[in-house]
């Protein structure tokens, strides 16, 4: 059980050392992350792990925040993916899609809550670091534990609005972002 941890907002500020740490983290945990995603899918194409709102390719994938244990090892990551959206969705031309992965042995509400809140607060105010074309942040909550009333109220309090469910059993939540075009 984890007692001490630290959380750091890293969107737009990943240096070579942190990039290497993140590569090591994903090399160790990618298989379990993918297996967990697949286990949450109620039906459909289990090889598809990205949200169904966009069939376009990933334009950019970046870490948003990381959690470390008391030894300094990464134990959790929130990351965002910039994608083009299909025009018929009427949600703008681009969106950020967000996911979070915390090592199973470190999953405590206090840790995941702090990791997510620090990510969200930083991301909302990082207008100059975000792609100006993306006017929304989308969270596809595929973990059935996030479909409970308390977790739905949690997301609503954070400013998200439920868009609906997708064909793979995930709840899709949307948060409007303030944007600014910077030359």
Distance from C-alpha of 52 to C-alpha of 9, rounded to nearest angstrom: 27
pTM of the entire structure?
0.83
Strand order through the sheet with 58-69 = 5-9, 58-69, 74-84, 94-102, 134-141, 171-176, 161-165
Q: How far separated are the first and last CA of the chain, in Å rounded?
A: 47
What would the pLDDT profile of 103-138 be if each residue is shown by its tens digit? 999 999 899 999 999 999 999 999 999 999 999 999
pLDDT at residue 34, as a whole number: 83
Structural domains for the chain: 5-176 (3.40.630.30)
Which of 34-43, 92-101, 169-178 is predicted least confidently? Answer: 34-43
What would the pLDDT profile of 42-64 be if each residue is shown by its tens digit? 544 433 434 445 455 678 899 99
Q: In this structure, what are the phi and psi dihedrals at residue 72, rounded to the nearest 5 degrees? A: 95, 5
């Amino acid at each position: 059980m984890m007692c001490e941890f630290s959380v750091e907002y890293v969107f737009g500020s990943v240096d070579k050392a942190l990039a290497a740490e993140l590569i090591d983290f994903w090399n160790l945990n990618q298989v379990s992350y993918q297996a967990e995603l697949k286990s949450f899918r109620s039906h459909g194409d289990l090889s598809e792990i990205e949200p169904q709102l966009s069939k376009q390719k990933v334009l950019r994938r970046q870490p948003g925040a990381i959690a470390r244990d008391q030894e300094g090892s990464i134990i959790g990551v929130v990351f965002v993916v910039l994608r083009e959206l299909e025009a018929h969705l009427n949600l703008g031309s681009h969106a950020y899609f967000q996911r979070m992965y915390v090592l199973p042995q470190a999953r405590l509400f206090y840790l995941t809550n702090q990791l997510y809140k620090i990510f969200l607060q930083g991301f909302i105010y990082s207008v100059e670091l975000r792609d100006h074309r993306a006017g929304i942040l989308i969270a596809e909550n595929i973990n059935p534990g996030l479909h409970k009333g308390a977790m739905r109220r949690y997301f609503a309090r954070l400013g998200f609005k439920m868009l609906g469910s997708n064909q793979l059993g995930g709840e899709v939540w949307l948060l409007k972002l303030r944007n600014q075009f910077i030359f």
